[in-house]
Structure 1
């Protein structure tokens, strides 16, 4: 077996002989600036994640079926239907979720000839 086959074997040999390993241990940071940078990046990532989550749920929770119905044509998608009929201030994903709930769809798959009720917000 090779004497230095892994990082662990080199590290253990140097420590066992009482020598200095030549570097910092895993628990030491190289500087406070790097710690602050890591914290800043973590905060930014969390902020972006929560901003996206709030955008998804930005629509109103009052969900009523309007009298408007849409017949699905060949090539239609829920995204396209939602883009045409949603209010200007609403996120398209929220409107699609409303269409799915009102019509009792189990997925976003629709077929030509389906009749969909549109939500009213």
Structure 2
């Protein structure tokens, strides 16, 4: 009986040795597929965001608040739009200069 147990345990060990590389391959393939899908969807999202932006050249006397007021309807919160202007244009504060190009997101 001991011989039989040894055979069984060695078969079980051989089987686990065979399945580990297969399992590792499946995990790698799934991981790669997730990375490719994530990249694809990120690119589509970036393309959509670029289409939703308009360029505006800052005029003397313009402020972010004034630009926002001129480009959104009263239904939208102007504070949210000003914040989006800052984020989209990588502005650390409200200071803008005449001649500066800003990207205006659609409200």
Provide TM-score, normalisation by structure 2. 0.50
Bigger share in helix: 2
TM-score normalised by length of structure 1: 0.44
